[in-house]
Structure 1
């Protein structure tokens, strides 16, 4: 290794330490996850919105929070704060996002409030490490900006990282169309309470238009053995249809809609779209859950940010290295089935 390369490696070790791990990280958890709670501040007493929150759009970054009627205290415009906290006894705050309300979508017995993002703070890494990553990310984004189909500001990117402190379950969407149907992964989604569910898909991809046209999907949670396939099927977001017979796992039909879903899915929900909102880079779908079946308590794929994974395994170098190797296997199709 040349002197220049050795110097660069030394600088990277000093700046980043052992935090240079994948930003999109897969972990195995039971759903619903029990590691992180999310609290909304700004409307009187803090409100637990862990299971009533979703990302509605990436550019502009828009966060949706569902509240029961009356919780908004009659305010049409207000500022709020989201705190992402450990569920351990210490209840440490690992991240926060500062918000400004912009739109209120009425639901039956509740409402979905869409927020703009004003700023964020991330406490998963020490500040010097965090800013080393931010500077590196800004430089990389500047060099590759023209290749991005979703262009987010630095403020939005940092806040989006905080949203993935809360583990996001990975889902496989099945849809039946006149052309046959499709199956593709999704993780920008969340329960809204009172039987409502929301999810966001890139408007530039065909998948969003298929869902808008058909209006109903079956959503399967992903067991760990199907993780790599779920990542491969991201390519299906641009397809009109796929050949169901070519899928390398057995299928069954969902309860009401009779849509093909993986036999091994621990949970399957059938979802009927009620509202469609084109916000920016993404289309937000607000829907009702028609059926919800749980078949097993098997561990399921969740996606977190690498900063949070480093926090989870802080001080455990061997465990962190093993998790990085496992994440690579999960995504590349070598996980044991």
Structure 2
């Protein structure tokens, strides 16, 4: 079954995948090139638990193994060893950090390029805007999920207000988006201090970037801790398509290397 629009990352530690498809106890998630069907990577999963909302059930899976085929041997093995060594060398003690094997598996999930959005939150005494890419639709259920590290400062507010605005951002705003990662640690003092014009979202009136390509408003129907992250599940209640442009996405470096060899690299900023 095609789950391109029906799987997202639910947690980094342990690495877990959410989908509204119950695929059994030990399914295999395959990532294939859309044009040719060539197999690019595989994640092997083990069923963990189910999340039940008002009208749907979301299934959670542990990622137990994975491999990609974007690089040939021995380059693939050499690249993996080098990356693992760098990750272990730069690992901060007593700090959130997935195991190198889990990071390699996560990069396989990024064979399906992940959009990076800005999430806006507003409540009396708290306002914030920060980037996320552990997001995506759970198509069969009609739901949409966000997986936010549970230590992020806005998690309690999101669980309380149950409303957020999601802004699809042009790739040209990459530097600004990355700078806003600081807001995972502390709320925003003043919307007017942002380095771009803002406007209210259509239904909720939450402040969003005026230059967004698209604004979606999410009504959160369920939230719970899943490993290192809090999984938010909601319904899109409004969508404004405001401009044409290339949206900021993330993919794995080995995926870009593969596409470059094929003469069809993604644009980089």
Which bracket does the TM-score occupy, shorter chain normalised? over 0.9
Q: Deviations over 1:97-135 (max 9, x none)?
A: 011111112245542110011211101111322211221
Q: Which residue does the alignment assign to 2:82? A: 136
User: Given the alignment of the two structures, is residue 254 of structure 1 paired with residue 254 of structure 2, yes or no?
Assistant: no
The answer to whether residue 8 in structure 2 is matched with residue 54 in structure 1 is yes
Out of 142, 164, 167, the position equivalent to 1:217 is 164
2:210 pairs with 249, 259, 263, which one?
Answer: 263
* Secondary structure at the counterpart of residue 256 of structure 1: coil
Q: How many residues align?
A: 268
Which ranges in structure 1 are unaligned for 5 or more consecutive residues? 1-46, 331-337
Q: Deviations over 1:266-304 (max 9, x none)?
A: 111111222112122111111121112212232111111
What's the secondary structure of 2:187's corresponding residue? Answer: coil
Q: Is the contact made by 2:171 and 2:249 (CA closer than 8 Å) also made in structure 1? A: no
CA contact (8 A) 1:58 1:150 kept: no
Q: Alignment partner for residue 97 of structure 1, among 43, 67, 82? A: 43
SS at 2:251 equivalent: strand
Corresponding residue SS for 2:196: coil
Give 1:231's aligned residue.
178
Do 1:179 and 1:240's aligned partners in 2 also have CA atoms closer than 8 Å? no
Q: Are residue 152 (structure 1) and residue 88 (structure 2) matched?
A: no
- Bigger share in helix: 1
For structure 2, the 5+ residue unaligned runs are none
SS in structure 1 of the partner of residue 257 of structure 2: helix
The two structures, once aligned, show a CA RMSD in angstroms of 2.0
Which of 123, 133, 136 is matched with 1:190 structurally?
136
Where does 1:1-337 land on structure 2 (aligned, <5 Å)?
A: 47-67=1-21, 72=22, 78-88=25-35, 90-147=36-93, 149-193=95-139, 194-314=141-261, 327=268, 330=269
With structure 2 as the length reference, what TM-score do the two structures score?
Answer: 0.92
1:62 & 1:247 partners in 2: Cα distance?
34
Q: After the TM superposition, which parts of structure 1 deviate over 4 Å for at least 4 consecutive aligned residues? A: none
TM-score by length of 1: 0.74
CA 1:300–1:191: 2 relative to 1, 3 Å: same
